[in-house]
Chain A
Amino acid sequence: MIKLDFDTTTAVFQNVFNVIEMKIRQVNSSYVLFLFCAVFACLQASAQEIQDLQQESNLSNRDRRNQNGLPIAHLSGLKTQIHGVVIDAKTGEPAYFANLILLEIRKGVYSDAKGRFLFRNVPYGSFTLRCTSFGYQTVEAPIFCDRELLQVDTIRLEPSDLRMDSLIITANRETWRISDKKLRIQPGVRVLDAKRLNSAPGILEPDLFRALLTLPGVTASNDVSNELYVRGGTPDQNLILLDRAVVYQPYHLFGIAGIFNTDFIDHVNFSLGGFSSQYGNRLSSVIDVRTKSGTPKTFTGSGTVSLLSSKLTVEGKPAKNWYYLASVRRTYLDFATKAVKWVGLAPEAIPYRFYDGLVKIEFTPYPSDRFGGSVFFSNDWFRRDVKTYRFTEDPTPIRLPMYYARQNAMIWGNFNLTGFWEHRMHNGFLSTVTVFRSQATTDIDQNNFWTTTSGASDSLIQLRDSLNTEGRAEPFDANNKITESSIKWDVEIPVSRNHELIAGAEISQVNFSYWWEFLDAAVNSELQVFFDGATDSLNYRQKVTNLAFYLEDIWSLGDWTLKPGVRVEHFGNAKNGWTLSPRCAVRYDLTPELAIKTSGGLYYQSLFTSRERGNVGFLEIPFSTSSMPLQKSIHGMLGAEYFPTPDDKWTIDLYYKSFSHLYRNQINNLPRPVFLEGSGNAYGGELSYRHTGKKFSCEVAYVLAWTRRTFVNQPYYPPYDQRHIIQILATKSLPKNWTLDARWVLNSGRAYRPSRFTTNYYDYDPITQSYRHRINGEFSLNHMNFSGRFPVYHRLDISLVKTIHYKSWTLKPFINLINAYYKNNPLFYANLYNYNNYELSDEPIPQKKRVDKRKAFGIPVIPSFGAHFEF
């Protein structure tokens, strides 16, 4: 129990009475009703509002300490309270965490999750109330305080043209201050909402993972891929959830795009480490994607049409208590390249496309209960058939009714089914039951064979059969599937006004089923399929049942907020069965503008992918740590955030992660993968500054980081180690509803495996006891794993967006320019030439031309245009 000081206690009781008084005014026609309402109001308001009051009271105390000497509008000595609600003028939804300031006395509060705000201890007089929120136009209104309790009119925020609706940028993509109490305790947590996600740079279109890549502490292994390496962790160590359901294959081709259409995303809670005990079975980070669950009063929709893809999202309330959301996206690279081929601009079409979609339905029979279900799917499709006809060997060849067919069909994707039941009680108790089945599949079928058409003679048919028998090709077939079925129960229990318990339980079953033959993957090639040095064939089946329980306690002690927690897990066939993972987060508000946070904990993971070699990964598969120790990580985070003004924010985060029992394929000629055990660590710091203005917003961030891995007693920097990152995101509002966005990044080079060296040294031969002068013109140093560094990387992306309003429609045509000034950043280096039979002469030989051939280029200048629309 927290002991309140006199002012706070008085304020709490006074507020309760004020609420009762408000209720009386609303129902004064009936005394009985008054009684009921008063009691009801007390009960309903007690939990949340008392807590708000407590926070506000603390804030006020600090404000009083900080306001010595500030000009006060009126010094009559009388105090008042101001309360009201902030909503989105377009949708009617509450605007959470809007910033409200009484300018004359520099007193500020934030709206809560329901859009409500409350000023306490405001002196009588005239003031200007300013309300600001990201993505909305600033509202200023005069208010006159001449009574004890003042209720202001509902503040309706109009969406701003500066709200990052363009494709690139922006400084404002992250919620200014995190309203979720559970998340705001931890350092390294970012909450991104739909508006922010749609503003991130994307090659094809806005992308969740591309947006996350613009955050400090997040990097990718190359220029094309969006696979996230978060503070030294690898992509398989990120827990990716879609409405609480695990997603196993979250990327389209080579990670070029994520599978989530940003239009159906409501917000994303992204934790870069030190995450809470609510999440488990991953070592590095949590990307918790929540789809829209809004309550729009009318049918609404949005979509985008661009050069290579289109998408459409609609949502609405077809009946009372019902809500639906439907979204679909499809690329048309196949059609586009076919058209290009048809007009003769390209020799061949690219038979590739992907599509994804979501359908979600919610039913709210009672205010306390909400039921829902969703279906999510994503699919990548590649199919290519090539026929090579056979000809006679005459001087004038004649085409025979026989050809060699090469058929290549590849389909991979996800299919998720999710259902939930949410029950909320009047005292703030919240119970959520989630059931989901998540499946990721890969189906590859390659066939090479001779076939005949009608009119083939018997001799040709015999030839066909003999060729197919004698020259039997080894067709590559693969069928990989990972399926998780899970049921989880989460509860939030308010114990007291300063104390809340969060607990949960989960049982899940994961099936791994991989089969392929005749892969014939090249070791050390630029493309690694399935895993590093994948075996020629594999038949791998595992079934794992996992149990998890967690308990968290959020405890507010004045300026301190503590969140200790513990997670107990049992991993089916893991070697060390039960695990206990203590975790904790602490926040200390030094002043209303400055907070210090820290978090840490112990984390386990029972599955892993093995991909580090090569430069591009494809269809990575996770293995279970059966019969091997679980992967383990320890996190320590320390951060601070400082708001010198309502429009400016400084953030600094320091982190350390250690990893043990990591696994990597040994790469040999054995029929089964043999995994080596290794370890690693990652540490660094991130400093960022953000400014939001009416016409200009920007963010500048600098990251200094180290990531190491150790396998076979050899420490090295893996390819995702990137020492320095600096980036600038900026948005400039131009006249006539134009917006210019820019993102510029400057990074030190990533580590990579060099392919060829040259050297010159004296070599002692103890047999002849003589020295030999050895000149190695070009040779390999394979033991120098990832010892090379790509050159410094920099790139500028810009975007220009025009906003046009017409009745209830908003149209936003855009022009997008990726790598605007064409920095020729290498994607990777490859042995793309024949260097055999080469002898180094005494004279230096200019090899520039030949060396250039080795470079596989990264992203070129990519101009694109399209239009986004809302209705």
Chain B
Amino acid sequence: MAFLLFHLLAHILSFKMMKEIKHFLYLTIVVFSNITCSGDPSAGNSNDFVGVAGVLDARVRKQSVSVSRALNLDVHDGLPDPATLFISGADVTISTDNHVAYLTEFSSGFYETDSTFIVVPGQTYRIDVKVPDGRTLWAVTTVPFAPVLDPASKRDSMIVLYTADTTFNDSTYTVHERVVSDPVTFLWNGVFDGGYHFSIDDDTIWVNGDLIENPSRPMFTTGWIISTASMTLLDNHQINGRLWRWFSFIPRKENYEVDASVRILVMNPDYFDHRRHPETASNIHGGFGYWGAVNFYKRRIHVSAINIKL
């Protein structure tokens, strides 16, 4: 359209136009219309952005990365088919100083390493993504070391004393429990800025399996991610001010025991900051999203839950 208008105007004004003007016009038309009217890729700005979402996790056999687009709705008419927002055919690599891993696409916009890729704590990994239209993105992240439970906090077992009022209505139990045990504090060493998720959950089989609705649910967990390295359990149902959740405590059986694990998941700031606030921050150069890493610590603990009838 712009080209046609330009051409038209050039003719209108070419009453006695000199050759130089014509040559200049046509030269600029060719250069300009090809560059400007096709989205101006050299501008570094666009109304179509590329994003990467990926987390290195040593527990996972294959590391995966999602590559997709974000469209600026100010200038795009209507919402597109979500499937078209995945970017296929990108070149994705994860590299360290002495090794490069090429990721393969196993579904549209979803790329993974092979199983030989090993995540090493303390190692810095760089991700490079080149999408088919030539745009490139990169980011670096360092895998955190796992925190260690302070020797003073190491315990092999813990006892949870509680009271509970259980009501039964329309085949649904409603439990109003109240923990009366003394608080239990866990201290962690080797921590750094980032996020932590703490839980005590059963990693074997529930002893009283008939009480369990979802075996994967933890017994104790922080509501989401916290940023402190000291956690006090059983303290008025709070952990450092956050709600203490006891998901699996539905005591059809008043007293039970379970072999569980104390777990802490540590997330580096690249993940903790950018995934939690994807709208305001990103560590992806040239795009949006996040590229982070997590690590993990686990220690066995035996939990006894005893209902004290007052």
Q: Are B74 and A851 in contact (CB under 8 A)?
A: yes
- Does B252 count as interface, using CB distance less than 8 angstroms? no
Cβ < 8 Å to A, chain B residues 46-91 = 46-47, 49, 51, 53-55, 57, 59-60, 64, 66-83, 85-86
**Nearest-neighbor residue (CB-CB) of B12 within chain A:** A742
Contact A746 to B2, CB < 8 A, known contacts A762-B64, A764-B53: yes
Q: Are A698 and B47 in contact (CB under 8 A)?
A: no
Q: Are A789 and B78 in contact (CB under 8 A)?
A: no
Report chain A residues within 8 Å CB of B152. Answer: none
- Does A220 count as interface, using CB distance less than 8 angstroms? no
Give the distance in Å from the alpha carbon of A782 to the alpha carbon of B282 in the complex: 10
**Contact of B85 (CB < 8 Å), options: A648, A758, A843:** A758
Q: Are B80 and A780 in contact (CB under 8 A)?
A: no
Interface residues on A, range: 35 or more
- Does B153 count as interface, using CB distance less than 8 angstroms? no
Which candidate, A507-515, A667-675, A747-755, is the interface stretch facing chain B?
Answer: A747-755
Give the distance in Å from the alpha carbon of A778 to the alpha carbon of B197 in the complex: 29
Minimum Cβ distance to chain B for residue A641 (Å): 15
**Nearest-neighbor residue (CB-CB) of B60 within chain A:** A769
Q: Are B53 and A766 in contact (CB under 8 A)?
A: no
Q: Are A762 and B83 in contact (CB under 8 A)?
A: no
Q: Are A762 and B66 in contact (CB under 8 A)?
A: yes
Report chain B residues within 8 Å CB of A3. Answer: none
Q: Are B57 and A755 in contact (CB under 8 A)?
A: no
Report chain B residues within 8 Å CB of A687. Answer: 24
- Does B116 count as interface, using CB distance less than 8 angstroms? no
Q: Taking each of B6, B40, B70, B271, which has the highest tally of chain A beta carbons within 10 Å of its own beta carbon?
A: B70
Q: Are B74 and A755 in contact (CB under 8 A)?
A: yes
Q: Are A700 and B78 in contact (CB under 8 A)?
A: no
**Contact of A764 (CB < 8 Å), options: B55, B280, B282:** B55
**Contact of B45 (CB < 8 Å), options: A696, A717, A744, A764:** A717
**Contact of A829 (CB < 8 Å), options: B55, B69, B74, B110:** B74
- Does A377 count as interface, using CB distance less than 8 angstroms? no
Minimum Cβ distance to chain B for residue A785 (Å): 10
Report chain A residues within 8 Å CB of B310. Answer: none
Report chain B residues within 8 Å CB of A843. Answer: 81
Report chain A residues within 8 Å CB of B51. Answer: 759, 761
Q: Are A757 and B9 in contact (CB under 8 A)?
A: no
Cβ < 8 Å to A, chain B residues 77-131 = 77-83, 85-86, 109-110
Give the distance in Å from the alpha carbon of A756 to the alpha carbon of B70 in the complex: 10
Report chain B residues within 8 Å CB of A749. Answer: 40
The proximity string for A residues 502-526 relative to B, scoring 1 for CB distances below 8 Å and 0 otherwise, is 0000000000000000000000000
Chain B interface residue count, CB cutoff 8 Å, equals: 73
Q: Taking each of A732, A744, A768, A783, which has the highest tally of chain B beta carbons within 10 Å of its own beta carbon?
A: A783
The proximity string for A residues 672-693 relative to B, scoring 1 for CB distances below 8 Å and 0 otherwise, is 0000000000000001010101
Give the distance in Å from the alpha carbon of A786 to the alpha carbon of B28 in the complex: 27
Report chain A residues within 8 Å CB of B21. Answer: 689, 691, 698, 700
Give the distance in Å from the alpha carbon of A730 to the alpha carbon of B82 in the complex: 48
**Nearest-neighbor residue (CB-CB) of B23 within chain A:** A689
Q: Taking each of A723, A755, A768, A848, which has the highest tally of chain B beta carbons within 10 Å of its own beta carbon?
A: A723
Report chain A residues within 8 Å CB of B288. Answer: 759, 781, 783-784
Minimum Cβ distance to chain B for residue A7 (Å): 35
**Contact of B16 (CB < 8 Å), options: A696, A777, A842:** A696
- Does A801 count as interface, using CB distance less than 8 angstroms? no
Q: Are B24 and A689 in contact (CB under 8 A)?
A: yes
**Contact of A788 (CB < 8 Å), options: B75, B80, B85, B110:** B75
Contact A761 to B66, CB < 8 A, known contacts A769-B59, A781-B49: yes
Contact A788 to B74, CB < 8 A, known contacts A764-B64, A780-B279, A783-B281: yes
**Contact of A757 (CB < 8 Å), options: B6, B36, B49, B109:** B49
- Does B20 count as interface, using CB distance less than 8 angstroms? yes
- Does B289 count as interface, using CB distance less than 8 angstroms? yes
- Does B231 count as interface, using CB distance less than 8 angstroms? no
Q: Taking each of B71, B72, B86, which has the highest tally of chain A beta carbons within 10 Å of its own beta carbon?
A: B72
- Does A794 count as interface, using CB distance less than 8 angstroms? yes
Q: Are A758 and B73 in contact (CB under 8 A)?
A: yes
Give the distance in Å from the alpha carbon of A763 to the alpha carbon of B45 in the complex: 25
Give the distance in Å from the alpha carbon of A788 to the alpha carbon of B67 in the complex: 20
Contact A761 to B2, CB < 8 A, known contacts A698-B21, A702-B28, A829-B74: no
Total A-B residue contacts, Cβ distance less than 8 Å: 219
Give the distance in Å from the alpha carbon of A432 to the alpha carbon of B9 in the complex: 49
- Does A792 count as interface, using CB distance less than 8 angstroms? yes
**Contact of A775 (CB < 8 Å), options: B45, B59, B82:** B82
- Does B168 count as interface, using CB distance less than 8 angstroms? no
- Does A847 count as interface, using CB distance less than 8 angstroms? yes
Q: Are A788 and B46 in contact (CB under 8 A)?
A: yes
Q: Are A787 and B267 in contact (CB under 8 A)?
A: no
Report chain B residues within 8 Å CB of A754. Answer: 47, 72-75
Minimum Cβ distance to chain A for residue B14 (Å): 9
Give the distance in Å from the alpha carbon of A689 to the alpha carbon of B18 in the complex: 11
- Does A808 count as interface, using CB distance less than 8 angstroms? no
Report chain A residues within 8 Å CB of B57. Answer: 764, 766, 769
Q: Are A762 and B53 in contact (CB under 8 A)?
A: yes
Report chain A residues within 8 Å CB of B24. Answer: 687, 689, 700, 702
Minimum Cβ distance to chain A for residue B87 (Å): 10
Minimum Cβ distance to chain B for residue A344 (Å): 36
Report chain A residues within 8 Å CB of B54. Answer: 764
Give the distance in Å from the alpha carbon of A469 to the alpha carbon of B304 in the complex: 63
Give the distance in Å from the alpha carbon of A831 to the alpha carbon of B164 in the complex: 51
The proximity string for A residues 320-342 relative to B, scoring 1 for CB distances below 8 Å and 0 otherwise, is 00000000000000000000000
- Does A32 count as interface, using CB distance less than 8 angstroms? no
- Does B42 count as interface, using CB distance less than 8 angstroms? yes
Report chain B residues within 8 Å CB of A778. Answer: 73, 79
Report chain A residues within 8 Å CB of B86. Answer: 760-761
- Does A854 count as interface, using CB distance less than 8 angstroms? yes
Give the distance in Å from the alpha carbon of A779 to the alpha carbon of B54 in the complex: 20
- Does B265 count as interface, using CB distance less than 8 angstroms? yes
Q: Are B40 and A730 in contact (CB under 8 A)?
A: no
- Does B32 count as interface, using CB distance less than 8 angstroms? yes
**Contact of B46 (CB < 8 Å), options: A689, A761, A762, A789:** A789
Report chain B residues within 8 Å CB of A848. Answer: 77-78
Report chain B residues within 8 Å CB of A723. Answer: 35-36, 40, 42-43
Give the distance in Å from the alpha carbon of A791 to the alpha carbon of B46 in the complex: 10
Q: Are B79 and A760 in contact (CB under 8 A)?
A: no
Report chain B residues within 8 Å CB of A847. Answer: 73, 77-79
Q: Are B55 and A748 in contact (CB under 8 A)?
A: no
The proximity string for A residues 694-736 relative to B, scoring 1 for CB distances below 8 Å and 0 otherwise, is 0110101010000000000000010001011010101010000
Minimum Cβ distance to chain A for residue B93 (Å): 18
**Contact of A759 (CB < 8 Å), options: B2, B37, B40, B71:** B71
**Nearest-neighbor residue (CB-CB) of A746 within chain B:** B2
Rank and list the top 6 A-B pairs by shortest CB-CB distance, nearest first: A759-B70, A762-B66, A829-B74, A760-B85, A847-B78, A761-B68
**Besides A721-B45, A758-B76, A760-B85, 19 new A-B residue pairs in contact (Cβ under 8 A), listed by A number:** A648-B18, A728-B13, A747-B36, A751-B45, A754-B75, A761-B66, A761-B109, A762-B66, A763-B53, A776-B70, A778-B79, A781-B70, A787-B45, A790-B75, A840-B82, A842-B82, A844-B78, A845-B78, A848-B77
Can you report 16 A-B residue pairs in the complex whose CB atoms are below 8 A from each other?
A650-B20, A689-B21, A726-B28, A732-B15, A742-B9, A748-B40, A755-B73, A759-B288, A763-B66, A763-B275, A766-B55, A783-B280, A784-B49, A791-B75, A796-B9, A843-B81
Which residues of A approach B to under 8 Å, CB–CB?
644, 648, 650, 687, 689, 691, 693, 695-696, 698, 700, 702, 717, 721, 723-724, 726, 728, 730, 732, 742, 744, 746-749, 751, 754-764, 766-769, 771, 775-784, 786-792, 794, 796, 821, 829, 840, 842-848, 851, 854-855
Which residues of B approach A to under 8 Å, CB–CB?
2, 5-6, 9-10, 12-13, 15-18, 20-21, 24-25, 28, 32, 35-37, 39-40, 42-47, 49, 51, 53-55, 57, 59-60, 64, 66-83, 85-86, 109-110, 197, 216, 265, 267, 271, 275, 278-282, 288-289, 294
